[in-house]
A and B are shown apart, each in its own frame.
Chain A
Amino acid sequence: MIQPFDSLMLRTLLGPSVAALQLFALYVLMHGHYSPGGGFPAGILLAASMILPLLVKGRGAAWRTLSPRGAVTLTAAGVLLYALVGVASLLLGGTMLDYSWLPFGDDVANRRSLGILLIEVGVTIGVAGAMVSIFYSLAGDIGQEGGD
């Protein structure tokens, strides 16, 4: 059961927190090549930014967050993106997940760098969807659009 929790502070802080979380998630994802982070933590942060409105406003509120069905779809889409990158490098002449065969410019190392970014995006999407989906499963009210 997800119910709104009426608190002025929570409601006021919700917007800025969600914005900060999503910005930070994006930073962690894009900066994974240079600093700690990458797809997995970025996905968790993104999921947190989608779970937070549910916790504060409840399912019934007009917050356009992910639906249970959308969460599962997003998870599958993330894993699919990852697998497709692997299959693409396979079809382009290399071995599975060998990014140096992807068509991203002339420099082999740069191609591999961009390949890493691409699969990290897949991991982020997949993990974010999975976490939101698990939260819905645990908190109940699955399939009950609009909530209480």
Chain B
Amino acid sequence: MILYVIKVLVVLLAVTALAVVRVRDLFALVLLLSVFSGLFGTLLALMGAPDVAFTEGVVGSSVSTIFFMALLWRIDPLALTRASVPRRLVSWIPAVAIGALLLYGVDALPVFGEPTAPPTTYLSPEYIDRAYGDTRTPNVVTAILADYRSFDTLIEATVVLTAALACLLVLQRKHDPTV
């Protein structure tokens, strides 16, 4: 049953992605991106990754949508022009190439839920065994993120800080009449 729902979601994801590419209206584009993230989050939740799904839900489909909306206020829709055909071709070629490469690589991935696959046999069982005794944290994901790989998360936090500072430095305009 769940596999059937996953298949339907994947088809919907593909349709949304195509719509994102084809749609001309920026407002519709932002909403479609939000829908894409929402579908993707549901997919992750169904595939047994609720933590990632939660983050995808709040970041991908909520906050980034608000950010895009904030950007829309700054953009004059009439000033936008469509790129010329050769330019569009140039951007289509790498997109198709990367898509083909990923499809080619799918074959090498282990089957979803396969008990003998390397990700499920190597290291993961040890974390699952030890996490509660080590840290009194039943949610193994939290234990790994915030304890075993705490360095990672510290650097991640500094990345978020850097992003905020970069946005501030690049976008800050004090009473610039042209903006």
Contact = CB atoms under 8 A, between A and B. Distances in A.
Contacts of A71: 164
B22 interface: no
B167 interface: yes
B153 A119 contact: yes
A138 B67 contact: yes
Interface residues of B, number: 49
User: Which label, helix, strand, loop or mixed, suits the secondary structure of the A interface?
Assistant: helix
Interface stretch (B1-9, B11-19, B49-57, B91-99): B49-57
A44 interface: yes
Interface string A104-142: 000001101101100110110011011101110111101
A44 B62 contact: yes
Nearest to A131: B63
Nearest to B68: A138
A126 B161 CA distance: 7
B50 A126 contact: no
B73 A129 contact: no
16 contacts: A36-B51, A39-B146, A44-B58, A48-B62, A51-B66, A79-B158, A79-B161, A97-B154, A109-B134, A115-B147, A120-B146, A130-B160, A130-B163, A133-B164, A134-B167, A138-B74
Interface of A: 1, 28, 32-41, 44-45, 47-48, 51, 55, 71-72, 75-76, 78-79, 82-83, 86, 96-97, 99, 109-110, 112-113, 115-116, 119-120, 122-123, 126-127, 129-131, 133-135, 137-140, 142-144
Interface of B: 50-51, 53-55, 57-59, 62-63, 66-67, 70-71, 73-74, 133-139, 141-143, 145-147, 150-151, 153-154, 157-158, 160-161, 163-165, 167-168, 170-175, 179
